[in-house]
Amino acid sequence: MTKIWVNSGDSHVMEPDDLWIRALPPRLADRAPRSERGDKYEVLYIDGERIDRQLNDFMDAMRPPGARDLDVRLKDLDQEGVWGQLAFPSMGFWLCSITERELARETVRAWNDWAHSEVLGKQKRIITPACVSTTNVEDAVAEVERVAEMGFQSVFLPCSTRPGEEYALDLWEPLWTAAERAGVVLGFHIGTGGENVVFRGPGGAVVNYMETTYPGMRVVSHMVAGGALDRHPDLKILIAEGGAGWVPAIGDRMDEAYRQHGMFVRPKLSRLPSEIIRQQVYASFQHDKSSVEIVEATGYRNVMWGDDYPHLEGTYGHTQSTLHELFDGVSDEIRERVTRGTFNELFRLPEQTPQE
């Protein structure tokens, strides 16, 4: 089986448990995200709040050899056929739950400094987004400007926001301006910013998996219909780990709304929603066949494959078989676009050296 070499638009770093303890004074470090292993559940504490619980065996299931060792990780990547990765946070995802201004500002800064020295500073194939405060836009703008100078090419934002802080609202405008000016891609990762388990009962595992996908769609509707992307045509957003088959479909739905309910539409946009989506909205998937099929079927091309390494939802251990299932029989042009072209349109990585 020929090895299909890819870049991954959705991977994760596993931060050291003492990241914030080493970086911040105890009065802040004690309130930073920390995970404790109970007898059955992994329990998360953030700023004194008990935020989330994952079954231990679920958390243990995400353990490729390189999960916590960069050198081993690069060997994992070579084995799986992954050249480069955009590696989102793991514990850093919970920073968007912090509402106290100083704690939010200092914990994201510490996360970014750690990623800059321990990931970006140690090798060139794995880049991470930077984190920003989601509780104070002024602080977020300052951090975007700081991390862009440091070489970050993307900024992570949660898909769900607190009520009254939806992304269509003007309160975020300074952040969109700063991100566009800095040329950073906004990476909205699914399953962040809100509850991940909203239903208990028959089908819960699948229902909740789907429930974390919908906020990714909501990000697109807010960023497009609210006018942010129209006002900032060079700003690009990536919805990570939510699949991509739905993106052109909501473009059609939003066009219909824009036309059929035109009398109610505000702000008016300079382009149709579907045009804005095709020019500025990107999406990643791991296994979905539909994410590949829609490229030819609809001409929506901002589709990016992701390995979600080292998470259970990813492809570690079966990346090549997954890629062959996805791309055998697909045109070279579409395969190249989805496996590397879209990634390389958004991010700069060193040229891939010939691999086995």
**Beta carbon nearer to Mn ion, 86 or 277:** 86
Give the nearest residue (CB) to ligand MZD: 191
**Beta carbon nearer to ligand MZD, 1 or 206:** 206
* Of residues 20-79, those binding Mn ion (CB under 5 A): none
Q: Determine the Cα–Cα distance for residues 49 and 155; give it in Å rounded to an integer.
A: 25
From 119, 308, 326, 339, residue interacting with Mn ion (rule: CB under 5 A): 308
Segment interacting with Mn ion (CB under 5 A) among 56-64, 69-77, 109-117, 308-316:
308-316
> From the list ligand MZD, Mn ion, none, which binds 200 (C-beta under 5 to 8 Å, kind-based)?
ligand MZD
Cis peptide before 248 (omega within 30 of 0): no
**Beta carbon nearer to ligand MZD, 45 or 209:** 209
Q: Determine the Cα–Cα distance for residues 159 and 49; give it in Å rounded to an integer.
A: 21
- x/- site string to Mn ion, residues 268 to 307, per CB under 5 A? ----------------------------------------
Neighbours of 3 (CB within 10 A): 15
From 4, 6, 10, 219, residue interacting with Mn ion (rule: CB under 5 A): 10
List the 34-37 sheet strands across, edge first. 34-37, 41-46, 49-55
User: 215 by DSSP, 3-state: which?
Assistant: helix
Contacting residues toward ligand MZD, per CB under 6 A: 54-55, 58, 90, 93, 190-192, 196-197, 200-201, 204-205, 208-209, 212, 311, 313
* Of residues 234-273, those binding Mn ion (CB under 5 A): 241
Candidates 279, 210, 292, 294; CA nearest to 248 is 294
Q: Which single residue is written with the structure tokens 């497009």?
A: 224
The encoded tokens of residue 331 equal 């045109």
Work out how close the CB of 114 gets to Mn ion at its nearest, in angstroms, rounded to a whole number: 19
Report CA-CA distances (Å) from 21 to 49, 161, 163: 18, 27, 31
Pinpoint the alpha helices (H) of 48-136.
56-60, 70-80, 101-115
> From the list Mn ion, ligand MZD, none, which binds 212 (C-beta under 5 to 8 Å, kind-based)?
ligand MZD
List residues near Mn ion by CB under 5 A.
Answer: 10, 241, 308
